[in-house]
Amino acid sequence: MDTGGGGLAKASLGLKFLAAEDLSIDARTGYAASGGRFQARTLEVGLSYALDVAVFGKRGVTGGPVADSLRVYSWRTHGIAQQYTSVNTSMRNDCEDGAISLVGVKLDAFLGTSAYYLTGQAQSAFAGGVGGYSVGLMGIGYLSGPLAGTDVHVFVEALGGAAGGGGIKIGGGGVVQPSVGVLYDVSGNTGIEASVSRIRALRGDLDSTAVGLGVVFRFSTAGK
């Protein structure tokens, strides 16, 4: 798409419906324009979850109705690097061959005290001759407890989303990427992880093994 230098501006108008106390659904329509010839009407549908985060003073929360109503939410954020190792000439418009390297971020939200979590990630290519290729994924994952008394965990994830750009043959843009990996706890709130996955376009030619490395930081928030 001819977006000129890549800059994009968008204006939109929408409605939001409060489906539950912290959950809302919204729909928006708008118009997007670039520095090039690309212009388009847009339509978006979204699902939002509102977080009420407690801010503690110097003395903290010492009990009573406020403290008793608080819940602790567990999160993880990741800095990730990933490489598509088996991209061949049939998967690219330029008919080149070779690996594609990406860098991105990932955020996990654990479901209560269970080992299951919701996850979302965004990555963009930085090497491999596919500048502009990006992928956004969401899904659910499972993290095991420590294995045999060590600091090692196993995790599995089921991911789906959209990808495009860089001359990669994605078809309509939809992709799926199941993943499995190991996590090593370096300290109480940090870790390193390694994973292997398979990314596949639903209607295109992309079908590649992907290996990844990441640095993990765990944190918690308190809310009602």
Rounded to an integer, what distance in angstroms lies between the CA atom of residue 218 and that of residue 180?
19
Domains in the chain: ranges and CATH: 8-49 (no CATH), 70-223 (2.40.160.20)
- Tokens 């965004």, located at residue: 122
For 203, which DSSP code?
S
Would you state the pLDDT for residue 219? 87
Would you state the pLDDT for residue 63? 53
Cα dihedral sign, 170-162-219-74: negative
Would you state the pLDDT for residue 168? 93
Would you state the pLDDT for residue 6? 67
Would you state the pLDDT for residue 97? 82
CB 70 within 8 A of CB 223: yes
For 157, the token pair is: 């994830």
89 φ/ψ angles, rounded to the nearest 5 degrees: -65, -30
For residue 84, give every residue at least 6 positions away whose Cβ sits within 8 Å of its Cβ, in sequence order, or none: 99, 100, 102, 128, 199, 208, 209, 210
CB 219 within 8 A of CB 188: no
> Residue 68 carries which side chain, given as an amino acid letter?
D
Q: Which residues of the chain have pLDDT under 50?
A: none
Would you state the pLDDT for residue 3? 74
Would you state the pLDDT for residue 54? 62
